[in-house]
Amino acid sequence: MEATALDTTLNHYLSFSVDNDLYALNVGQVREVLELVPITKVPRMPEFIRGIINLRGKVVPVIDMRTKFGMANLDATIDTRVVVVESGHDDQVMLLGALVDSVSEVLEIKPESIQPAPTLGLDLNTDFIRGVGRHNDDSFIIILDIDKVFSTAELTLVKQAGVANAGQPEGQDS
């Protein structure tokens, strides 16, 4: 709720857009930004998992933020990027790639400018929104909590997809 939940030593955020909305991630959690690289699809996974990529020898899963946020899919453009983030889950630091429409600039947003996320008026489940920041005095930018974007519930879904595939190989799918 408050700014104390954030890494207060870093007030810089990477901003990016998904379906014309602006979002931001604390730079402390962002590893790097990649141009769109070939993504190998991992079959029988929930739709928001686009697949896996090769990051200098490491295999990193990629999440499609459009799908995640419930928006329609679009073909990739030259602006499409993969934002590689570090997400801590169950004491494990995972690398994840977030597929976004475009990446803008690194902004400084002071803790004072951040307001708690409103509970109404947005289509999104607001767990993963740390807050909303003022941007250019006329628009707001949604600051995401990367650890919660890929919530435990969803990852369980992924796990279940895997387990379901393991236990009932065929015929149980709808």
Partner 1 sequence: MSFDPLVQTFKDETLESLNDLEVSLMALESRPEDADLLNAAFRVMHTIKGSAAMFGFEQISDFTHEAETVFDRVRNHEIPVTPHLISLTLQAKDYIRAIVSGEGDAPDPAEIMQGYRALLGGEAASVAPETIDESSDEEGQAFLIRFRPEPNILATGTNLLPILRELADLGDLRTVLRSDALPTLADLQPDQVYVWWDFILTGQVSQADVEDVFMFVSDNAEVQYQPLEHVRSTDTHLLHELERLLISHGDADWVNVRDAVQSYAESHTHGQVIKDEAASQLKMLSEGARTSSIRVPTERINKLVDLVGELVIAHSRLVQLSSQSGNGDIRQLSEEMGRLVGDLRDESLDIRMVPIGTTFSRFQRLVRDLARDIGRDVIMETSGGDTELDATLIERLGDPLVHIIRNAVDHGIEPPDEREAAGKPRQGTIHLSASQSGPHVVITIQDDGHGLDLKRIREKAISKGLISPDAALSDKEAAQLIFAAGFSTADQVTNVSGRGVGMDVVRQSIHALRGTVEIDSELGRGTTIHLTLPLTLAIIEGLLVLVDDQEYVLPLYSVEECLEFQATERTTSGAKEHVRDVRGQMLPMVRLREWLKMPGDLPDIEQIVMTQVGSRRAGLIVDSVIGKHQTVIKPIGHIFEDMRAFSGATILGDGRVALILDVSWLITLAEEEHHRAIQSHTRELVVS
Q: Which residues bind partner 1 (CB under 8 A)?
A: 37-38, 40-45, 49, 52-54, 57-61, 89, 92, 94-95, 150, 155, 158-163, 165-166, 169-171
Least distance from partner 1 to the Cβ atom of residue 118, Å: 30
CB atoms within 10 A of CB 129: 19
Q: How far is the CB of 128 from partner 1 (least distance, A)?
A: 16
Q: Under a CB-based contact definition with an 8 Å cutoff, are residues 171 and 147 in contact?
A: no
CB of 134 to partner 1, least distance (A): 34
Of 8 and 40, the one with the shorter C-beta distance to partner 1 is 40
Cβ proximity to partner 1, 123 vs 173, nearer residue: 173
The H-or-E segment that residue 49 falls in is strand 49-55
Residues in the chain: 174
Q: Residue 50 CB, nearest distance to partner 1 (Å)?
A: 12
Instruction: For residues 97 and 125, give the distance between their C-alpha atoms in angstroms, rounded to a whole number.
Output: 20
